[in-house]
Chain A
Amino acid sequence: MAGQTVNFKLNGEEIRAAAGWTIWQAARAAGVFIPTLCHHEALHPFGACRLCVVEVEKDGKKTLEAACSYPAAEGLSVETETPRVQKSRKMTAALLLARCPSVPLIRELAARLGVAEDSLPLKGRAEEACILCGRCVRVCREAIGKRAVSFAYRGPQRRVSAPFGEEAPDCIGCTACVFVCPTGAVKAVRQDNRLRLSPWQTELPLLSCSACGRSFAAEKVLRHLHGLQKASFDPETLCPVCRRKQVGEALEKVSKLGKAGSFPPGKEQKQFKH
């Protein structure tokens, strides 16, 4: 398959995409914007939020499909802004706004798509921030290789949760879930040398830097990373800043021993700040 391309129509223009690309990837390469919420480039397509729907014509039949997961294929005709697409996106935004009335990202999205504040009768809790995009669940599984959190319950009761709603025993405190959450529903608080993750109800001890004494990462993360590198874990470890500083100093020493200014030309030595 490598190197193969497919040709299809995007908003009336013939475009080329690499085989295996989704419509969303092909559109981005062609400079066509398609809004997404649950999609994240580091993760497999999930197709849950339905915001990225586009109208796909195939064999004379027009259907709405999720651009984030639908593969670009020879002979398709894809439209990204038809009235049908806009209507669907608007309703999706309205539904998410009703669920999460106070999340800025959703409020902006709804406003941009012209959704009125009270367009739907059933209102979510003011503090509800989770749109169930599943990025946290997927990043934990796909990128970190853990399955510390997951979806629980089904239908309208669906939520993201650590097993049995208790502390997540498999959580290593990497905070990747916090990083990928688009709405701020997953939070990490560092306090008193401890890392608190919500809504996972999980608390992990942080390791302190043996040089500067600041707590910087959960011990479990470092053990996990050492495990990946098949290295033994040393609790007497440095925080990233101190480690860089140490490496920098070592390099400086080496360069002073040799000729001055031996860094490759064009690359400036970065200043380390603490």
Chain B
Amino acid sequence: MKMHRSITDPAALEALRRELMAEGQAAGASVSVCCGTGCRASGALEVVEAFKQGLAARELPVKVNTRMTGCHGFCEQGPLVVLEPGNIFYCRVQAADVEEIISRTIVEGQPVERLLYLDSASGRRILREENVPFYRGQERLLLAHNGRIEPASLADYLAVGGYAALAKALTEMTPEQVIAEIKVSGLRGRGGGGFPTALKWEICRRAEGTTKYVVCNADEGDPGCFQDRSLLEGNPHSVLEGMLIGAYAVGAEAGYVYVRHEYPLAIAHLSGAINEAREYGLLGRGILGTGFNFELKISRGGGAFVCGEETALISSIEGITGEPNPRPRPPYPAVQGLWGCPTVINNVKTWATVPPIINKGGQWFAATGTAGSKGTMIFSLTGKVNNTGLVEVPMGITLREIVFNLGGGIRGGKKIKAVQTGGPAGGCIPEALLDLPLDYEQLTEAGSMMGSGGLIVMDETTCMVDLARYFLSFTQDESCGKCTPCREGGAQLLHLLEKITKGQGAEEDLELIAALSAAMQDSSLCALGKLAPNPVLTTLRFFRDEYLAHIVEKRCPAGVCRSLIRYVIDSSACTGCGRCRRACPAGAVQGTKKEPHLIDQEKCTRCGACLEACRFAAVLVN
């Protein structure tokens, strides 16, 4: 790869880009292996190695590049491999499949049928990535390049048009014009708050002070959420470019990326990107030959959920305990933030959205979405849905479209019950509201929130009381414990929910739950405590009958709450195979071979191992 040591002006940047693109086209063919954290766990690195060795061992008429790319999003089907030309999409590829892919597809130009995606709706195999239903319904703006580039490679990022927005902003636009363009786009904070990004930048730009900071909040901590992680892992330069443009707009010369220590790959790729950008003069002094200076550092968080909260995040970067400060707003961090200086804190996705807006204009961005929520949003689709993974969709899409069109419906043909949006501090949207268009206002109105974009799908086997208990136990664990309502109120609330799931609840407990939730919402110090009751309040609002079933009838309709269920064996269906007896960790299943078995309720711990083990549907939950 021919790359000059330093990119000193926009013309040099464009010349280099043309060179790199020509080089890419000359290569002709490529194998992109998804090396996101999910695919790595299922063997992607071995697949890459097999491709490298297999391709090196052959004399091929055209050069084939093997690329280790970031997350493609369809984690359910990983490891994923995409072949160019043709955008041929293989899923669940293992190292042993590679030889066949090379000889069949790369040499002979024929697909390997068994590795193609099987569409369960039509029963047909699908050849190209763009025709897979999971991708077809998406509008990929931020994730567009994730599957095409090597994450920390500046050359790859330049080849797909990277840093053109930075060059445009620095040479053709004033900081005020950059902010105006963001304002036209209608971009709102993607971390969950939905605060207008342009307004935040404007406040910071106007704030007094010569030292200003930009911060990228990558303290993603919601259970089941990994979109920020995937962006940092898969396309760190896009976040960097967004921050550079933001820094130029607000007048900052230094920035931090606050990323959790549990994201080692994201940190590695981000550090790689920062180092390379610095080497080529895209970070440092006099960027692209202009008077703009910028330096960026990574600040690693210890994995405290509450550090995603702005004031706690600031404390953590400053080196003191990461807990919320009673910094009333105003002044917002945009006026008085890191070390008392004006600071813009934006989510990973927000920063990554900036370059496309500058490239294509605010008007173009605002054409997608609803009246109040513009552009696209990345959701982590998880839970009892067939196609789990990352989906980037236009704002205003309905939950039903996401779950059934992109997600491929509910696993095992079961019935959908609800979708938890916005993570543990979000709320539960029942099946009846699935046609709700997803935007900031609509979700808030339904008692939930956009949050960082988590979508957890639940079916009829999910107990809503147990779900509320689970999310509250998470927020209680992650509460810093500073203020009384969150610490003490949360503990009381959790105790009440545990009582109910154990069948010891009383009807008046529901009133106390409402009162405690209201107190937490009203008087907690930070958003964690204010939002923590959301799962409780929404489940109570939409699934009150389930609470009452636990309290009055001492019954768990979903068959989840251990104290309220019994596992029994249907003697007419039991063949006496003994699988359940061997699976039971408590020795509660008794019986002789080929005779119907029995469960000793005294010994049974209600772990459900027998139910999972049984092949004849003879274990029942009462």
Within 8 A of B (CB), among A15-72: 45-51, 53, 64-66, 68-71
| Given A122-B495, A151-B321: A84 in contact with B484 (beta carbons within 8 A) | no
| Given A99-B488, A122-B495: A132 in contact with B481 (beta carbons within 8 A) | yes
**Residue of chain B at shortest CB distance from A150:** B321
Residue total for B at the interface (Cβ-Cβ under 8 A): 35
Residues from chain B with Cβ under 8 Å of A96 in the complex: 484, 488
Among A46, A50, A158, point to the contact of B481 (Cβ < 8 A): A158
Interchain CB contact under 8 A, B491 and A122: yes
Interchain CB contact under 8 A, B489 and A95: yes
| Given A69-B326, A122-B491, A158-B487: A88 in contact with B481 (beta carbons within 8 A) | no
Interchain CB contact under 8 A, B477 and A66: no
Residues of B within 8 A of A (CB): 304, 306, 321, 323, 325-326, 328, 476-485, 487-492, 495-496, 499, 512, 515-516, 518-519, 522-525
A-B residue pair count with CB separations less than 8 angstroms: 108
Interchain CB contact under 8 A, A98 and B492: yes
Within 8 A of B (CB), among A59-105: 64-66, 68-71, 84, 87-88, 91-92, 95-96, 98-99
| Given A69-B326, A88-B522: A154 in contact with B485 (beta carbons within 8 A) | no
Interchain CB contact under 8 A, A158 and B480: yes
Interchain CB contact under 8 A, A95 and B476: no
Bound: A84/B521 CA distance, A: 12
Bound: A88/B522 CA distance, A: 8
CB distance from A56 to the nearest CB of B (A): 9
**Residue of chain B at shortest CB distance from A71:** B328
**Residue of chain B at shortest CB distance from A134:** B482
Residues from chain B with Cβ under 8 Å of A212 in the complex: none
Q: Is A153 an interface residue (CB 8 A)?
A: yes
Residues from chain B with Cβ under 8 Å of A121 in the complex: 492, 495-496, 499, 512
| Pairs A–B under 8 Å by Cβ, sample size 18 | A45-B326, A48-B326, A50-B484, A53-B523, A64-B522, A68-B326, A84-B522, A91-B516, A92-B523, A95-B488, A95-B519, A98-B492, A120-B512, A121-B495, A122-B492, A154-B479, A155-B480, A157-B481
Interchain CB contact under 8 A, A91 and B328: no
Residue total for A at the interface (Cβ-Cβ under 8 A): 38
Bound: A121/B304 CA distance, A: 29
CB distance from B604 to the nearest CB of A (A): 28
| Given A96-B488, A156-B487: A50 in contact with B321 (beta carbons within 8 A) | no
Residues from chain B with Cβ under 8 Å of A134 in the complex: 482
| Given A48-B525, A84-B522: A156 in contact with B491 (beta carbons within 8 A) | yes
Interchain CB contact under 8 A, A91 and B489: yes
Among B306, B477, B516, B523, point to the contact of A50 (Cβ < 8 A): B523
Interchain CB contact under 8 A, A91 and B485: yes
Bound: A154/B306 CA distance, A: 10
Bound: A155/B490 CA distance, A: 9
